[in-house]
Amino acid sequence: MRYIVFFTFLWTSLLHAQEGMWIPSLLEANEAEMQEMGFELTAADVYSVNNGSMKDAVLIFGGGCTGEVISGEGLVLTNHHCGFGSINRLSSVENNYLRDGFWASNQKAEIPAPGLQVTFIVRIDDVTDAVRQDLDTDTDNTKIIEQRIDSLTRMATDGTHYDASVKSFYYGNKYYMFITETFTDIRLVGTPPRSIGEFGGETDNWIWPRHTGDFSMWRIYANADNRPADYDPANRPYQPRYYFPVSLDGIQEGDFTMVFGFPGRTQEYLPVQAITNIALESNPDKVALREIRIRTMEKYMRGNDTLTLMYASKTKNLANAYKKWQGESLGLKANDAFAKKRQFEHAFEMWARDSKYAGVTQRLNTLHSQLTNYNRATDYTLEGVLGIEAVRYAYNYRNLSALLADSNSTEDAIVKEVEKLSAGVDDYFANYHIPLDREVFPLLLEKIYMDVDSSLQPVWFREQAVRYNKNFATWANAVYNSSGLVSAAGTHQLLEAIRRGDRNALKSDPIYQLFDAFYTTYKTMQATALEPVQEMIEREMSLYMEGIIQSKLKDRIYPDANSTLRVAYGKVSGYTPRNGVYYIPQTTHVGILEKYKDGDEEFDVPDALLELMEAGDFGRYALPNGELPVAFLASNHTTGGNSGSPVLNAKGELIGTNFDRVWEGTMSDLNYDFSRCRNISVDIRYTLFIVEHLGKAEWLIDEILK
């Protein structure tokens, strides 16, 4: 039996030979495999502290994407959807860069993007021994670990302009410190019109074949010493230690590819009950709640440019995860992930007999089964209650509420908090529409009332539902007609009353009452029910992960993604999503012409691009058959956060920009399957064609290709 189990997992590992998100500082262990697959460089070319290397050209873009430096003048390439929020903020009805695109005519014409920042990794240090030394595994070491991490980061950054963070890997079995450098003077260089950057819209999102020009360009500026500095007209383009050369040679099926970036979160080692909770309960709940918000927003945006600008970014952010959750659940079912997890857990328990690891999978599955009702209450709080914009806005007022409730709080402290909140009121309500939010309010609250275990709902909430005879629309009208937190004028009036000494004004507001009731219930549930179980799960997962490593039942063991720098590698490859269907790995402009619908919100394209494509003169960017390449597939293991990641060939040259995964493979966050999991990238030749021929920014082409 042991031989059969071993053979089964050996064969499985061979089928999954391109699975993995690897720490670049440890990539030497993968070097031989990468070179066997076609990689022509070394691990030192990818990561080096003493010499410029690929890691010096990869950056965290904004709050959760990746970008790459592609010139010696600090030019950054990322996705259109990664820059979407900043492009939206820089746009106006008169200068609608989101709708119409923008291309700077030179560096002086580049537009500062306040609030946008990028972060580079300076080095990665293994600090496991310093964090874990002499820890008692039978007690809660959280505070000790936090103190040690704080000491390590202070020692690493004192007297420097760098930042540092320590992250846990393998569920606390390893710790690495990341020394970082952050730049805040970032300027918009160019973006295609939204109809190119989002071509296909939500219909095509997560779907292959794709024809989306999902890219934008930015530039990093630094002071005279090439160091980070706030915006100043005197700042100069950043001079990077390394930038990616661009290749126009294109791709062929079977070519080696590598993705370098900051994947957000994966959970590849969860027990079967955990992925069952996610696939069959949590994902469907969250999808249903987001469906309400998305459809309501779309109704109000349709044909209204002002509301479209206000809600475009919000809708896009909601829709991305909404569709991903659906694909993830379908993929887990289609891939029979539950049976595969059970099979591995059975093999693990056979190996673990008479050891300290025995029974760990049963304990984990039991703990996760205890979370079912609490998970639903959590999802409905975060996606339901906080899905109401006014209630989510009220979250910002919890510190003020605490000050008002504390008899020891000074008037100065209260006034200071009031002034802090007042400063952001007008900006917030510039992108808020009362009728839309009022329509969402009853739809979400009624679902919460009907679907969540009544014992986990706030008593106040159920009393209010009875008060309004469970007519949530009537309740909505009463709330939005009386709350101060649904308009700029009302919020200023509320804050002014508090400034004048009215300590009851906030707690009397019906929107804040709703927020506070759910927030208090949620925090109580967390403290009394969720956190104790989660702490036990964390301890058991640490033991389970240690056992997985020791057992060698998996020969490809990599840490889950946690928004730290990783390398994934694979090959250009099509796939079979279902019986009788095979997708080739390259799309071209022909697909754009086939999908094109004049005036359609998702499938329209600018007339100028239509003319270029119909003319068919693509010059140096054309395929041998004369078509213009648009996007391609590869088997790199990616997830959220890899958006904007550089896709590199065997020589380390940039061939594309990662922007998505195929819908059938979105379950890769929980269960990677080589036969289905593919990442989708914009072909760099399409990017440069748009820049040169539609954007007329030949100066950028010269900068990139020189």
Per residue, what are the HEC states of 253-294?
CCCEEEEEECCCCCCCCCCHHHHHHHHHHHHHHHHHHHHHHH
643 is catalytic: yes
Helix axes 531-551, 337-352, angle to 10 degrees: 70
355 is catalytic: no
Question: Cα–Cα distance between 661 and 205 in angstroms, integer?
Answer: 9
Closest C-alpha among 152, 70, 67 to residue 116? 67
Task: List the alpha helices (DSSP H) in 380-487.
Answer: 389-394, 398-405, 411-429, 434-451, 459-467, 472-482
Q: Which of 80, 81, 211, 589 is catalytic?
A: 81
Question: Cα–Cα distance between 286 and 437 in angstroms, integer?
Answer: 18
Q: Which of 195, 643, 668, 681 is catalytic?
A: 643
DSSP string, 118-136: EEEEEEEEE-HHHHHTT--
Residues 631/212, Cβ–Cβ less than 8 Å = yes
Dihedral (CA of 368, 373, 378, 379) sign: positive
Question: Cα–Cα distance between 492 and 485 in angstroms, integer?
Answer: 9
Question: Cα–Cα distance between 222 and 98 in angstroms, integer?
Answer: 26
Q: b vs e for 381-390, b when ≥16 Cβ sit within 10 Å of the residue's Cβ?
A: bebbbbbbbb
- Burial degree of 503 (CB within 10 A; 0-12, 13-18, 19+): middle
Task: Report the largest interatomic distance among the alpha carbons of the chain, rounded to a whole angstrom.
Answer: 78
Residues near 81 by beta carbon (within 8 Å), at least 6 away in sequence: 197, 198, 214, 316, 320, 643, 659
> What DSSP state is assigned to residue 208?
S
Where on the phi/psi map is residue 200: left (φ > 0), alpha (ψ -120 to 50), or beta? left
Residues near 243 by beta carbon (within 8 Å), at least 6 away in sequence: 57, 68, 69, 70, 71, 72, 75
Q: Which of 45, 204, 214, 437 is catalytic?
A: 214
92 is catalytic: no
Residues 671/341, Cβ–Cβ less than 8 Å = yes
Active site residues: 81, 214, 643
